[in-house]
């Protein structure tokens, strides 16, 4: 049974084109942050918008107007949250994960690994990927707010590491 009802194809095609256009419009209105890999909040909003779009295309009980309103609400809320986080450090601290040092000057912070649920093996893989063969070659490894791991070699990290000013444990 390849096609139960040809009307279902039209149900996907018509509203699908409109929903896609609305998605592009909302993402443009929401700004670059809507597509950025900045933090867990942005990630969740992006996934939710994708879920709404998928439901708009495939669900028979979701009107296009409902899907458009839901996507619009998420984009407006994301814009408000980002606006507030830029203007208020307290609000930013409330919604944003703080980057954390996992290794500093070649010494692994075992408590930070445990707290952040990063294995020693994950840390070692990042070091190997960065071309480091020894821990004492590394000035710092930071678990970033977006979940990625950044490495600063001792060659690049001579003196005060200004990029670590907002990092917990720096």
**pTM, entire model:** 0.64
Please state, in angstroms and rounded to a whole number, the distance separating the CA atoms of residues 125 and 122.
5
Tell me the mean pLDDT in the region 71-97.
85
**Which residues have CB under 8 Å from 6's CB, separation 6+?**
none
Structure tokens at 13: 């095609």
pLDDT bracket for residue 4 (50, 70, 90): low
Which has the closest alpha carbon to 111: 52, 47, 168?
168
Q: How far apart are CA 54 and CA 95, in angstroms?
A: 27
- CA 56 to chain centroid, in Å, comes to 24
Residues 131-158 have pLDDT tens digits of 999 999 999 999 988 788 999 998 765 6
Dihedral of the CA atoms 133, 136, 138, 142 (nearest 10)? Answer: 110
Q: What number does CATH give the domain 100-164?
A: 3.30.240.20
Residue 166 has pLDDT above 90, yes or no: no
* Domain boundaries along the sequence of the chain: 6-94, 100-164
């Amino acid at each position: 049974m390849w096609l139960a009802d040809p009307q279902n194809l039209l149900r996907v095609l018509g509203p699908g084109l409109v929903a896609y256009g609305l998605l592009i419009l909302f993402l443009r209105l929401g700004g670059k942050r809507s597509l950025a890999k900045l933090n867990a909040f942005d990630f969740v909003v992006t996934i939710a918008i994708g879920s709404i779009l998928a439901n708009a295309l495939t669900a028979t009980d979701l009107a296009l107007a409902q899907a458009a309103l839901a996507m619009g609400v998420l984009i407006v809320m994301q814009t408000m949250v980002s606006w507030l986080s830029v203007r208020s450090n307290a609000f930013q601290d409330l919604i944003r994960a703080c980057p954390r040092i996992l290794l500093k000057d070649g010494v692994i912070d075992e408590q930070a690994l445990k707290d952040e649920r990063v294995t020693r093996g994950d840390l070692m893989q990042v070091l190997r990927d960065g071309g480091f063969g020894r821990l004492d070659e590394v000035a710092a490894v930071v678990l970033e707010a977006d979940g990625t791991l950044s490495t600063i070699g001792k060659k690049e990290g001579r003196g005060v590491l200004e990029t670590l000013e907002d990092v917990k444990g720096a």
